[in-house]
Structure formats: structure tokens, C-alpha cells
Amino acid sequence: MFKKLIGQRAFSTSFSWFLKASIEGNGKVVSVNEGSKDPLKFPGIWLRDNCQCEVCYSENAQSRRIDYSDFSFKVKAENVEITDKVLNVNWSDNHKSAYHIDWLTDRSFTKEKQEQYLNEFYRPPYQTWGKSKFKDVVKYFEFDEVIRDDKVLKEWIETLSTYGIALIRNTPKDKTVARTLANRIGFIRQTTYGEEYVVQAKPNATNQAYLSAKLQWHIDLPYYEYAPGVNLLHFYEQTKTKGGSNIIVDGFNIAERIKNQHPEDYQVLCEVVVDWNDITVEQDIPYHNIWRAPVINLDADGNCTRINFSIPQRDSHFNVDVDKVIRWYEAFGKFVNMVKEETMLFKVNEGDILTFSNVRLLHGREAYDDSDANVRYVVGAYMDWDIIYSKWRVLKNQLANRH
Ligand SMILES: [Zn+2]
């Protein structure tokens, strides 16, 4: 017996000979021991819920199909054993389940494994940057490489997700390149302003974006519950005069700075709900949008998910307790001061596409001189992060399988 084990160990990379399973906590936990490693603990109810048999799980749909009208929340493991790297469990509801050890390890409840999974498959973790780091952060991608090469497409998405900004250069002289780029990932996100929108000075414009005057920091459409995630701005023509530079600030960096330097103001900006609104007429259709949310929005882990910021699109209706108003302006004032300090000015070259996270980067534009001889013509299109992250995961799997 001893010889046989040694032999298996010598000729196989598998450690299945060393696997042991046991029941703990009165049937509520199944423990899997792999050699000398810390045992992996799996809650019994989670195992039962994730049974991989044909009745409980659809391989085709890759989703659970267990009938919850019959599901027992008091189910217990009654018997466990491991054979050929498969954990077999007999349950108190008379069901039997089998789980491959690789499947279990991949879903281990250890912090390490979970962080690895989330970083690899949820989203690339974001990195904040201040004005002084802008030069290191800004990366250029070649338009035809993004279109042609999946690896480059994936790198662009990762850069956009990590830093909130990336540039694409050497585009064809064509007003449809923003659409081509969006279609490379998925599809354009339509808004009140259509699919593609043109930013140029228009006589008698109602929206600040369509004037050649300065456009101060903002995110687009903060008055949408589902604000567009990413902005693709194709500089079809760029003004040749001194003005017209883009104004860019990493809003997540401001949130981080204010959290460190003024934690109480940070709290106020995370909690006080602001009314963002837009009343407009587009293509003869009237719109009236309102979304209520704080300036800094966090996920359940405390990471920034969205910044809301717009001076024109912040409503004079401020539906909070009156004693919170002055306090909010104090905190907002500190936020604005930091935004000023971190404001980066740079002029996008004609033909480039500036791509950035609309829910992270405050952006704007310096005034410029608009005349027949000096034109600025920008074609914009939005995309949703859901579609972008989805493409990123699909690409990751496809590229991994090719090797
Ligand atoms: Zn089952």
C-alpha cells in the first residue's frame, strides 16, 4: 500500500490520493483536506444549493435550475467521501451530489482565492491618479490594432477601467469611427441626445456643450439613474487656436484624497442626496429627467462606483433636512478646491479618440474661438460598462483558450 502511494505521487501531479472529506458542525459544514494545506470549509447549504447534477444544474444554460419551491433550508450533509478527485455527498433530503475537487477549489471561501477571482473576472481594480501622474497614466492605442487585434482590444479596456482614460490614435478621417469603435465592443448606448452626438458650436444653443465658451467640470447625464459609463469622443476636427483644451480630473482620486484629509466631509458627500436634473427639448421631444444621489457613490466594499458632478444639471430643489444644506456646501467646497488643484489641461490631437469613464472623470473644455476658419468638430458616443466588462471577460477566456 505504501509503495503504491509513493508510486502515484511520483508519476502523477494529482494529489487526489491525499484528499479527505469530513462533516462538521452537525452536518452544516463539509471540510475538505488536501495534504498538509489548511482544510477548505464549505457550508453544506451552499453545496446543496450548487449541486451540479442534471436536475439541479443546467450545463447548457450554465445556471442553477433547482426547484426552490421544494428546497429545504435545513438540509444537512449525512455522508461524504472522495473518490477520484470527486467529493460525493449524501443529503438529508435524500439527494446525492458530486463535485470535482477543481470546481470546489475554484470556489474556495478563502480570502486569497476570492480576491484573485474578483480581480481576474469581476473588474480590473482601479488606480487613482493626480495631475502630476497624468503623463504616466495616459496611454495611446492604434485604432487599426484595436479593431484588428483582440489582445490590444483587451489592453485598451483594461487601461480604461484601471485609470478611467485612454486615447486611440491614427483613426481614418471619417465621422463614423466612434460608432465603429463602439461596435467593436458591443453597441452604442442611446440617450436623450441620440446615439452619436456632435459637439460643435451651434448658434442659439441651449446646452452649454454646444457653445464655444468654457465648459466647466462635469460628468454627462448625472440626472440618469443609469448614467452612461464610458464616453468616446472622436476629434474629427480640432481647433487650431490656443483654446479648446480638454479639462480632465480623476474624480475617484478626489474622493480618496478627501477621505484621507477630511473624513467627515467625505462622509457628507457620500451620504447627502443631491437632486440632479435636466429639462430639455431634443428633436422636438420634451424631456424632464431627475436622479437623486450623493456626489460620491460607493459599492458595498466601500469602493467608488460613481461620481456625480455638474453645476448646470444640479437642481435648485434640494430635498434634504435644512440643517444639512450648509454642511453639504462646506464639504462640496473642499471637493471643488481639490478638483481645481488636480485639474489637468491637455489638447487632444485631431483624429484621436478620447475614451474615458463618464462616471469617474470630471471633464470639460476650455473656451475656444469658433469661426469658419477655426472649427472644432467632435463626434461623441456612449457605451455602458456592463457591455464593456462583458467583452473583457469574453476576451480573457478566448485569449486564454487560444494558448
Ligand atoms: Zn442535484
Which residue would you say has higher pLDDT here, 129 or 214?
129
User: In this structure, are 192 and 308 located in the same domain?
Assistant: yes
Residue 114 within a domain: no
Collect contacts of 109-114 with beta carbons under 8 A, ≥24 apart: 109/40, 109/41, 109/42, 110/38, 110/40
User: In this structure, are 92 and 235 located in the same domain?
Assistant: no
Q: What is the pLDDT of residue 246?
A: 93
Q: What angle do CA 307, 308, 314 make, to 5 degrees?
A: 165
Distance from Cα 401 to the centre of ligand 1, integer Å:
29
CA dist 304 and 353 (Å) reads 25
User: In this structure, are 102 and 203 located in the same domain?
Assistant: no
Q: Poorest-confidence range of 89-98, 232-241, 390-399?
A: 232-241
Which residue would you say has higher pLDDT here, 64 or 16?
64
Residue 375 has pLDDT above 90, yes or no: no
Distance from Cα 80 to the centre of ligand 1, integer Å:
15
Distance from Cα 248 to the centre of ligand 1, integer Å:
53
Residue 147: which CATH number?
3.60.130.10
Residue 275 within a domain: yes
Residue 394 within a domain: yes
Which residue would you say has higher pLDDT here, 353 or 9?
353
Residue 204 has pLDDT above 80, yes or no: no
Distance from Cα 44 to the centre of ligand 1, integer Å:
13
Residue 28 has pLDDT above 90, yes or no: yes
Q: Which of 109, 141, 174 is the last residue of a domain?
A: 109
Which residue would you say has higher pLDDT here, 238 or 393?
393
Let me know: does 163 contact 251? Beta carbons within 8 Å: no
Residue 1 has pLDDT above 50, yes or no: no
Q: Which triple of cell numbers denotes residue 102?
A: 477543481
Distance from Cα 65 to the centre of ligand 1, integer Å:
9
User: In this structure, are 105 and 126 located in the same domain?
Assistant: no
Residue 201 within a domain: yes
Residue 126 within a domain: yes
User: In this structure, are 105 and 134 located in the same domain?
Assistant: no
Query: How many separate domains does the chain show?
Result: 2
Distance from Cα 87 to the centre of ligand 1, integer Å:
13
Distance from Cα 35 to the centre of ligand 1, integer Å:
28
Distance from Cα 57 to the centre of ligand 1, integer Å:
7
Q: What is the pLDDT of residue 9?
A: 40
Q: What is the pLDDT of residue 284?
A: 94
User: In this structure, are 224 and 333 located in the same domain?
Assistant: yes
User: In this structure, are 68 and 134 located in the same domain?
Assistant: no
Question: What residues contact residue 255 under an 8 Å CB cut-off, 6+ apart?
Answer: 266, 269, 296, 304, 307
Residues 191-206 have a mean pLDDT of 80
Helix (H), strand (E) at residue 123: none
Distance from Cα 41 to the centre of ligand 1, integer Å:
20
Question: What residues contact residue 341 under an 8 Å CB cut-off, 6+ apart?
Answer: 131
Residue 62: which CATH number?
3.30.2020.30
Residues 223-228 have a mean pLDDT of 98
Distance from Cα 120 to the centre of ligand 1, integer Å:
29
User: In this structure, are 303 and 340 located in the same domain?
Assistant: yes
Residue 168 has pLDDT above 50, yes or no: yes
Residues 337-366 have a mean pLDDT of 96
Distance from Cα 50 to the centre of ligand 1, integer Å:
8
Q: What is the pLDDT of residue 129?
A: 98
CA dist 281 and 288 (Å) reads 9
Q: What is the pLDDT of residue 5?
A: 39
Distance from Cα 64 to the centre of ligand 1, integer Å:
10
Q: What is the pLDDT of residue 202?
A: 64
List, for residues 266-325, the tens digit of each pLDDT value: 999 999 999 999 999 999 999 999 999 999 999 999 999 999 999 999 999 999 999 999
Distance from Cα 27 to the centre of ligand 1, integer Å:
17
Distance from Cα 308 to the centre of ligand 1, integer Å:
46
Q: What is the pLDDT of residue 209?
A: 64
User: In this structure, are 187 and 281 located in the same domain?
Assistant: yes
Q: Which of 109, 140, 173 is the last residue of a domain?
A: 109
List, for residues 314-342, the tens digit of each pLDDT value: 999 999 999 999 999 999 999 999 999 99
User: In this structure, are 180 and 294 located in the same domain?
Assistant: yes
Helix (H), strand (E) at residue 200: none
Residue 262's identity, in one-letter code, is: H
Per-residue b or e along 214-252, where b marks 16 or more CB atoms closer than 10 Å to that residue's CB: ebbbbbbbbbeeebbbbbbbbbbbbbeeebbbbbbbbbb
Q: Confidence band (pLDDT; 50, 70, 90) for 6?
A: very low
Residue 127 within a domain: yes
Distance from Cα 60 to the centre of ligand 1, integer Å:
15
User: In this structure, are 136 and 31 located in the same domain?
Assistant: no
Residues 253-271 have a mean pLDDT of 98
Distance from Cα 78 to the centre of ligand 1, integer Å:
15
Q: Which of 55, 75, 109 is the last residue of a domain?
A: 109
Q: What is the pLDDT of residue 211?
A: 64
Residue 116 within a domain: no
List, for residues 130-157, the tens digit of each pLDDT value: 999 999 999 999 999 999 999 999 999 9
Which residue would you say has higher pLDDT here, 93 or 10?
93
Residue 115 within a domain: no
Q: Which domain holds residue 101?
A: 2-109
Task: Report the share of the chain in percent with pLDDT over 70.
Answer: 93
User: In this structure, are 101 and 140 located in the same domain?
Assistant: no
Distance from Cα 24 to the centre of ligand 1, integer Å:
21
Considering only CA atoms, which of 52, 65, 169, 173 is closest in space to residue 102?
A: 52
Greatest alpha-carbon span in the chain: 90
Distance from Cα 67 to the centre of ligand 1, integer Å:
10
Distance from Cα 123 to the centre of ligand 1, integer Å:
31
Residue 11 has pLDDT above 60, yes or no: no
Distance from Cα 105 to the centre of ligand 1, integer Å:
19
Distance from Cα 63 to the centre of ligand 1, integer Å:
13
Distance from Cα 192 to the centre of ligand 1, integer Å:
47
Q: What is the pLDDT of residue 370?
A: 73
- How many other C-beta atoms lie within 10 A of the C-beta of residue 337? 12
Question: What residues contact residue 80 under an 8 Å CB cut-off, 6+ apart?
Answer: 21, 22, 23, 30, 87, 88, 89, 90
Q: What is the pLDDT of residue 374?
A: 75
Q: Which triple of cell numbers denotes residue 353?
A: 479618440
Mean pLDDT across the chain, nearest whole number? Answer: 92
Residue 310's identity, in one-letter code, is: S
Q: Confidence band (pLDDT; 50, 70, 90) for 13?
A: very low
Residue 193's identity, in one-letter code, is: Y
Residue 201 has pLDDT above 90, yes or no: no
